[in-house]
């Protein structure tokens, strides 16, 4: 089938490449000329596993990139709108990019096309798109249907999530559009793709569920899903704070809570709070949607309050360990909003680094993929970007772990001890066991667990890892 994808960011690029991978002819329209040139040359614009391989495999065969909507609209069966919907200054999602794209599409409709919202949009946006196409775009109503196919991929495992989804939500209000979407996703729904693909064996087998809904329900599913996940993170962070205050251990508590199949173990990792381009924006937007509809969703305000508090608590712990921050040098490991991505949008790590710099600290930061993106956000003479974890740590007054990159969970702790000017580690992602840090002679402060001192002979809080090892704990926070 012929597919057009508008926007080649984290979602659009993965969507376009994966549709090519399952056998469709794809045109990807991207308005940013720098990104476009890079993609036309076959260079990945995001740090995402399998994207370089898919680009190499499909460029100019199953996929091509263009800046021209007219070029993209040569009788596609479906057009997927994957442009950004960032928070506007008033906190609401800015849908101007979506409606710009819709107006462009309207003037080029020549045959029946399904116009699919893949960007995350407020419930009811489908109706507005329909009106926009008819009134402002002047499109013939027999030439299109509006559908919503929300995207659930996670940065860091986006290609795998797309090709081996745990669910595919097809939101349509007419059978013609539903048939087109079913046919587009057929290789994934029937399992034909997984059966024949040699290069992209799914990391896990899941039972694919196709959920067919109305457009409005699909729109609301996406916001409800993200807000629910964000709520779990804030919930476990609140429990971690109680654990810290009472001497309980959050690892043990989370393992005990998550073992209940009605609850499950995912998204029960405490930390410095959720971030990224989706959760903060989507929680905010769902609150507004509720308000507009006469319902006060204060639970979400609390989720946001707890989330912001986690960063402050991290800084407070650092200050109580080291005193005033001005003039002290901190090694920071991690700048992206979570591991395995170069995305720094609304990164809690970046927010903490900004606070350190504002308070006069010196920072030596390392991240495996996000330094280029972070550089634009951290314009200070007091920050330097290191070439490795150990280079960042060398001579620092404390090590701060801010992102859950796998590399940061397997440091040589004795080397860390030797490189640090003072043996303090504040871990915002609980990547280590307190007893191993104690064993390496490090003063270790983490989230929801007793701090262990570098010098005391007292037995550090014993950590029962059995449960947490048996349960595959997910990537942290977002």
18 carries an active-site annotation:
no
Distance of CA 30 to the CA centre of its chain: 21
Please give the size of the binding site for ligand NAD, defined by CB under 6 A.
Answer: 26
Q: If binding is defined by CB under 6 A, does position 119 make contact with ligand NAD?
A: yes
The C-alpha atoms of residue 301 and residue 291 are separated, in whole angstroms, by 12
Considering the complex, state which of residue 11 and residue 180 has its C-beta at the smaller distance from ligand NAD. 11
d(CA 223, CA 248): 33
| Per CB under 6 A, 3 contacts ligand NAD | no
For residues 4 and 111, is the Cβ–Cβ distance under 8 A? no
* Shorter beta-carbon distance to ligand NAD: residue 153 or 346: 153
Taking the least distance from each CB to ligand NAD, the nearer of 101 and 318 is 101
Kindly indicate which of the ranges 23-31, 171-179, 292-300, 317-325 contains the residues binding ligand NAD, using the contact rule CB under 6 A: 23-31
Among 2, 23, 32, 359, binds ligand NAD (CB under 6 A): 32
Distance CA 95, CA 417 (A): 49
Q: Does 11 bind ligand NAD (CB under 6 A)?
A: yes
**Contacts (CB under 6 A) with ligand NAD, residues 275-314:** 277-278
* Contact characters 148-187, ligand NAD, x per CB under 6 A: ---x-x-x--------------------------------
DSSP helix/strand/coil, 3: strand
Report, in Å, the least distance between residue 160 CB and ligand NAD.
13
Residues 401, 411: Cα–Cα separation, whole Å: 11
Judged on CB neighbours under 10 Å (0-12, 13-18, 19+), 268 is: buried
How far apart are alpha carbons 143 and 161 in whole angstroms?
32
Q: Which is nearer to ligand NAD, 9 or 273 (CB)?
A: 9
Contacting residue, 53, 100, 173, 435, with ligand NAD by CB under 6 A: 100
25-38 in b/e form (b: 16+ CB < 10 A) is: bbbbbbbeeebbeb
Dist CA 150 CA 75 (whole Å): 23
Candidate list 62, 76, 97, 137; residue touching ligand NAD; CB under 6 A: 97
Where does this chain bind ligand NAD (CB under 6 A)? Answer: 6-12, 29-32, 35, 82-85, 97, 100-101, 119-120, 151, 153, 155, 277-278
Which residues form the catalytic set? 278
């Amino acid at each position: 089938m012929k597919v057009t994808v508008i926007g080649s960011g984290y979602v659009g690029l993965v969507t376009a490449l994966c549709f090519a991978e399952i056998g469709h002819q794809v045109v990807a329209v991207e308005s940013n000329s720098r990104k476009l040139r890079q993609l036309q040359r076959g260079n990945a614009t995001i740090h995402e596993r399998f994207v370089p391989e898919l680009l190499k495999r499909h460029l100019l065969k199953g996929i091509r990139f263009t800046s021209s909507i007219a070029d993209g609209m040569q009788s596609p069966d479906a057009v997927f709108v994957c442009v950004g919907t960032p928070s506007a200054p008033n906190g609401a999602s800015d849908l101007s990019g979506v409606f710009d794209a819709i107006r462009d599409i309207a003037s080029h409709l020549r045959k029946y096309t399904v116009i699919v919202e893949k960007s995350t949009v407020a419930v009811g946006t489908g109706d507005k798109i329909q009106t926009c196409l008819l009134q402002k775009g002047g499109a013939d109503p027999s030439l299109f249907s509006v559908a919503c196919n929300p995207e659930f991929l996670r940065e860091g495992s986006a290609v795998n999530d797309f090709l081996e989804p745990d669910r595919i939500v097809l939101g349509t209000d007419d059978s013609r559009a539903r048939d087109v979407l079913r046919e587009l996703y057929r290789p994934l729904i029937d399992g034909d793709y997984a059966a024949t693909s040699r290069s992209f064996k799914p990391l896990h087998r899941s039972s694919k569920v196709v959920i067919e809904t109305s457009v409005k329900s699909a729109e609301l599913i996406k916001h409800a899903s993200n807000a629910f996940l964000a709520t779990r993170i804030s919930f476990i962070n609140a429990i971690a704070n109680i654990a810290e205050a009472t001497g309980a251990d959050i690892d043990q508590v989370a393992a005990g809570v998550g073992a209940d199949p009605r609850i499950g173990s995912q998204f029960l990792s405490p930390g410095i709070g959720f971030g990224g381009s989706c959760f903060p924006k989507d929680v905010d937007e769902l609150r507004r949607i509720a308000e507009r509809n006469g319902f006060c969703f204060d639970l979400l305000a609390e989720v946001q309050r707890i989330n912001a508090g986690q960063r402050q608590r991290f800084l407070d712990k650092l200050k109580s360990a080291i005193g005033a921050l001005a003039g002290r040098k901190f090694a920071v490991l991690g700048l992206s909003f979570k591991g395995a991505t170069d995305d720094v949008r609304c990164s809690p790590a970046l927010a903490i680094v900004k606070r350190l710099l504002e308070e006069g600290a010196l920072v030596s930061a390392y991240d495996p993929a996000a330094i280029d993106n972070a550089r634009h956000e951290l314009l200070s003479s007091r920050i330097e970007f290191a070439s490795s974890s150990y280079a960042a740590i060398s001579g620092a007054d404390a090590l701060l772990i801010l992102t859950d990159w796998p590399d940061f969970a397997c440091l040589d702790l004795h080397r860390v001890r030797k490189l640090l000017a003072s043996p303090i580690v504040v871990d915002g992602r609980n990547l280590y066991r307190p007893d191993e840090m104690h064993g390496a002679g490090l003063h270790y402060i983490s989230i929801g667990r007793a701090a262990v001192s570098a010098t005391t002979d007292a037995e550090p809080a014993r950590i029962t890892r059995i449960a947490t090892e048996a349960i595959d704990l997910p990537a942290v926070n977002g």
